[in-house]
Chains A and B, each alone.
Chain A
Amino acid sequence: AQSVSQHNHHVILSEAASLELGCNYSYGGTVNLFWYVQYPGQHLQLLLKYFSGDPLVKGIKGFEAEFIKSKFSFNLRKPSVQWSDTAEYFCAVIPMDSNYQLIWGAGTKLIIKP
């Protein structure tokens, strides 16, 4: 069955540290890839997406993600985190030749210490 794995359930960093959140998916065909963020008490918002083209995708608030097809990965990165980045981050995948259902990772809770 298709699945999305986020390796870290909780990550704690200090401000200005660099961030990388892992995301791997299990599907051999074409995929669309997404990262969503959920700030405390709010609904999910799209952070960035990859459909095709340059595998390095830049999103909002200084986030970027790199699609590595050979590794079935779409890791999220930010060079220098801020306290306001404290949130939960979800990776999601749409297999493009299936029923177009979004498959969600379990989420990673990121806590930034001031």
Chain B
Amino acid sequence: NAGVTQTPKFRILKIGQSMTLQCTQDMNHNYMYWYRQDPGMGLKLIYYSVGAGITDKGEVPNGYNVSRSTTEDFPLRLELAAPSQTSVYFCASHRQGAAQYFGPGTRLTVL
């Protein structure tokens, strides 16, 4: 199993640009999450999904959108990038009640 994979690893955006952060897991996990981690801070939940076709907002959803058309994929969309979205983004997945597995992260800088 590849586990949780994320692309790209690094990206620099200009203010107002849009992009999609990709996340794929091959463990058939129903639960998937997007977190952001700002320098020196803990994780903040952006969006999560409990299964294909079901998504819900987390703690900091503004400026982001998600979709979950398949069990494997959970892309995160930034429509109008802002400097406040400069962060490291982690995708995670898990089975119900079990530990989360994390992807390697995407380091995003908005200038």
Q: Which of B45, B94, B104 contacts A43, CB < 8 Å? A: B104
Q: Hey, which chain A residues are within 8 Å of B94, CB to CB?
A: 102
* Least CB separation from A49: chain B residue: B99
Taking a contact as CB atoms closer than 8 A, the residue among B92, B97, B100, B105 that contacts A96 in the complex is B97
| Residues of B in contact with A, size category | 20 to 34
Instruction: Say yes or no: A106-B105 contact (C-beta < 8 A), given A46-B99, A100-B31, A101-B48.
Output: no
Task: Enumerate 29 A-B pairs (CB-CB under 8 Å) in ascending A order.
Answer: A32-B97, A32-B98, A34-B99, A36-B100, A42-B104, A43-B90, A43-B102, A43-B103, A43-B105, A44-B90, A44-B92, A44-B102, A46-B99, A46-B100, A46-B101, A49-B99, A90-B42, A92-B100, A96-B97, A100-B96, A100-B97, A102-B33, A102-B94, A102-B100, A104-B43, A104-B45, A105-B42, A106-B42, A107-B42
Query: What is A's interface to B at a CB cutoff of 8 Å?
Result: 32, 34, 36, 42-46, 49, 51, 90, 92, 94, 96, 99-102, 104-107
